[in-house]
Amino acid sequence: MENQPIEFYYWRLRGLGSQILNLMEYAGVKYNCNYFDIPEASKYMEFKANEIKNGFTLMNLPSINDNGNKVAESGAVMFYIANTYCKELVPSCMSEMTKVLTLQGVMKDFIDSTIKPVFQDKELESFKTNMKQALGKMQYKIQYFKEILSSNEWALGKDLSFVDFSLAELFEKFVTLQEELKEEFFDKETLEVFQNYVKKFTSLPKIKEYRESERYLKRPFHPESTVWY
């Protein structure tokens, strides 16, 4: 019996879900998008309660159901898809996998440190001020990303890996943020490194084709209740 498409569950926004969709598109995986709308969050809560009742104790968004294999948490979903459907994106040695785990940890710290202004600020000017302050505290991590991406073809070196899908999504958001708000969140040299990396990723044939299709969700990055989305 032929496997059914992967069922993908997330809010109707890019958030932590877009990297997963990019990866599935790149890997040629068939999938169905099941989006929940934030104003109707009760539908998700009902779905979650039912999943937990049926044994998926850690149900959370984003998550997937791959023919009975249920996986939640974005990092775990990314690894599952890459390891199951596109093994060339998974490092084959421990040292490279350690780099992946390090990058994932640094990205999580970066996201956690910059998400507060997104949900806290209701005015654009205070959002810009607080985002600058948050990024200012992340300068050593910004420098870490800059050094990796300016000296390598991809995050781990010359070969694309599944962590690039997360990193490209993260920096596309921040490049877009700076370009749209015309604020210097990153200096010119750093911005150029991130812009070039994002452009290289989005120019990958399968990613480019996906972004030009009706399947692609361009915006919002964040819930529409936030000041910038």
Question: Do 99 and 177 belong together in one domain?
Answer: yes
pTM above 0.85, yes or no: yes
Helix ranges, the chain (H): 18-27, 41-53, 74-85, 94-114, 116-120, 124-136, 139-151, 162-181, 188-202, 205-211
The verdict on residue 221 lying in a domain is no
The verdict on residue 100 lying in a domain is yes
Question: Do 46 and 102 belong together in one domain?
Answer: no
pLDDT tens for the chain, 229 residues long, are: 568 999 999 999 999 999 999 999 999 999 999 999 998 899 999 999 999 999 999 999 999 999 999 999 999 999 999 999 999 999 999 999 999 999 999 999 999 999 999 999 999 999 999 999 999 999 999 999 999 999 999 999 999 999 999 999 999 999 999 999 999 999 999 999 999 999 999 999 999 999 999 999 999 999 999 999 9
Note the pLDDT of residue 1.
Answer: 53
Question: Do 28 and 38 belong together in one domain?
Answer: yes
The verdict on residue 174 lying in a domain is yes
Positive or negative: CA dihedral 68, 43, 114, 13: positive
Question: Do 197 and 114 belong together in one domain?
Answer: yes
| Pairs from 120-124 (Cβ < 8 Å, separation ≥ 24) | 121/227, 122/227, 123/227, 124/181, 124/227, 124/228
Instruction: Choose one of 88, 106, 129: the last residue of a domain.
Output: 88
**34, 93 Cβ separation under 8 angstroms:** no
Question: Do 121 and 176 belong together in one domain?
Answer: yes
Domain count, the chain: 2
Instruction: Choose one of 65, 88, 111: the last residue of a domain.
Output: 88
Give me the domain span that covers residue 25.
6-88
Note the pLDDT of residue 59.
Answer: 96
Question: Do 65 and 15 belong together in one domain?
Answer: yes
- What's 173's domain CATH number? 1.20.1050.10
Note the pLDDT of residue 66.
Answer: 98
The verdict on residue 227 lying in a domain is no
**Residue 73 region by backbone torsions, left for phi larger than 0, else alpha for psi between -120 and 50, else beta:** left
Question: Do 180 and 120 belong together in one domain?
Answer: yes
Structure tokens at 184: 């210097």
The verdict on residue 14 lying in a domain is yes
- What's 65's domain CATH number? 3.40.30.10
Question: Do 26 and 117 belong together in one domain?
Answer: no
Question: Do 97 and 173 belong together in one domain?
Answer: yes
Instruction: Choose one of 26, 60, 88: the last residue of a domain.
Output: 88
